[in-house]
Amino acid sequence: MNLALSVVMLGAAVLALLAGVVLAVVGLRQRREAAGFGERSEPTTAEVLESLPKDVAMAGEPVTIYYQQLRYRLGERDVEAQTMTGVEPPVPHVGEQVEVRYDPRHPSRVVLASADPVAGAGATSLALARMMLGLGMSLPVAWVVILGIARTL
């Protein structure tokens, strides 16, 4: 029975470590993509169609950030998109014209010109990666401690 449980615990640890590595790679890729956005993006003016609130917890205290639904002209067509990064108040009002930056390769990827496209990029994936890596390293240690305690009983 101890062998089967040991295999399960070590298997869970390996899976947690693999998940941590995958999440870390995803987070770093997201950060690199956000940095590349700043280099290749083009400026334009957009109209704010809506401000969408989202409650997030940053370092414990909940904060409301706002994503803007925008419309801007690209050549002969209108593009409607939601900003990739949220901003804290004060936020642009509906109907207001704002300066934005968009990705010419993916016109629906847009940020307010005043927002940092790298801020927060990959943060969730990297935080989850740290948690999974910590779990993956803690499981074998916890299992050794449990086995040690069980042997003394």
pLDDT at 59: 66
Q: Which of 108, 112, 103 lies closest to 41 in space, CA to CA? A: 103
The overall average pLDDT reported for the chain is: 87
DSSP 13-73: HHHHHHHHHHHHHHHHHHHHHHHHHHHH-EEEEEEEEEEEEEEEEETTEEEEEEEEEEEEE
- pLDDT, tens only, 56-109: 776 677 888 899 999 999 989 999 999 988 888 888 999 999 999 999 989 999
- Full-model pTM: 0.65
